Amino acid sequence: MMIPIFAVILFVVFVMIVANVRIVPQSRACVIERLGAYCTTWQVGFHVKLPFIDRIANSMSLKEKVMDFPPQPVITKDNVTMQIDTVVYCQVTDPKLYTYGVESPNFALENLTSTTLRNIIGELELDETLTSRDVINTKMRSILDEATDPWGIKVTRVEVKNIDPPKAIQEAMEKQMRAERERREQILIAEGHKQSAILEAEGKKQALILEAEAQKEAAVQKAKGEAEAILEVQKATAQGIQMIREAGADDAVIKLKSLEAFKEVSKGESTKIIIPSDIQNMAGFLTSAKELLK
């Protein structure tokens, strides 16, 4: 009988030892109480507690948690009621405070988030609420992080997930956005017409300038050509007079040329002939001309 009793005692001791051995995995912690008072916090590794004296008061994960809270009714500064739901990212940094700091930490954080959100939205108007998500997120994270320090919780991030205004407000906003898009469309069309008119006017202006420059250049070239022609005629006339003078027949040749010009002019039907005042000398001139032509 002694051997079975001894075996039973060994078995009971073995079971008690196994029952009081704990291996804490990575990213977890255990709060140990001894005789009802806080004793220590088990981190990662192998641990043994005293039977009937020590107990595991709380076991928790140290990973960052995502807490998605349901939509909360909030009222803006301009008395618009809307539904807003938030997402809070938090992490347990002190297992002891997390265990003894507050009853039901997750429930406490949810209620704190709800009241903080109402306070922040109550200071903003509807338009500010819809366009200031970053401001709301920053304020909520700062307030929640400070308030949860005594609970051993670190709030790393807060995001406003959805903002649902009343249906009437949504319809009004859609009409406003539609009107704004139409206004922008009209502005773009007007700007397009304006740019087109400006470009067309610039094109006409450039065309007129180029045409004027072309006419100017043509007139200059024409004037230069006429001037050169006149100069050439004058040069030829001067050379002819010089040759006549060198031939020694100035008066006779000049009178002969005048007579030829007089003859050519008289051929016209509507030409008026003016008789020179020295017509009496014309006979002597003709006689001299005949002698030169022989």
Q: What CATH number is given to the structural domain containing 71?
A: 3.30.479.30
100 inside domain: yes
Per-residue pLDDT at 293: 45
CB 133 within 8 A of CB 149: no
Q: Would 269 be classed as within a structural domain?
A: no
Residues 139, 57, single domain; the answer is: no
Instruction: Please check whether residue 274 lies inside any domain of the structure.
Output: no
38 is a domain residue: yes
102 and 175 within one domain: no
Give residue 261's pLDDT band: very low, low, confident or very high (50, 70, 90): low
Give CA–CA dist 173/175, Å, rounded: 5
CA 127 to chain centre: 23
Residues 142, 101 within the same domain: yes
Number of Cβ within a 10 Å radius of residue 287: 11
Q: How many domains does the chain have?
A: 3
Regarding whether 155 and 129 lie in a shared domain, the answer is: yes
Nearest to 160 by CA among 248, 254, 88, 234: 88
157-193 pLDDT, tens per residue? 999 988 888 787 777 777 878 888 888 888 988 888 8
Whole-angstrom distance, CA of residue 68 vs CA of residue 88 = 6
Whether residue 186 sits in one domain with residue 139: no
**Domain interval for residue 51:** 17-61
Question: Looking at residue 219, what is its pLDDT?
Answer: 86
One domain, residues 161 and 199: no
Are 78 and 125 contacting, i.e. CB atoms less than 8 angstroms apart? yes
φ, ψ at 248 (rounded to 5°): 75, 25
Residues 94 and 81 in one domain: yes
Domain for residue 264, yes or no? Answer: no
Contact in structure between 254 and 261 (CB atoms under 8 Å): no
Check whether 114 has a pLDDT greater than 80.
yes
Residue 57 sits in the same domain as residue 123? no
pLDDT value at residue 17: 77
- The answer to whether position 292 is within a domain reads no
Measure the CA dihedral 129/131/136/137, to 10°: 140
Look at residue 9 and tell me if it is in a domain: no
Cβ atoms within 10 Å, residue 215: 10
Does 29 map to a domain?
Answer: yes
- Write out pLDDT tens, residues 22-66: 889 998 999 999 988 999 999 998 888 888 888 899 999 999 999
What is the average per-residue pLDDT within 83-88? Answer: 91
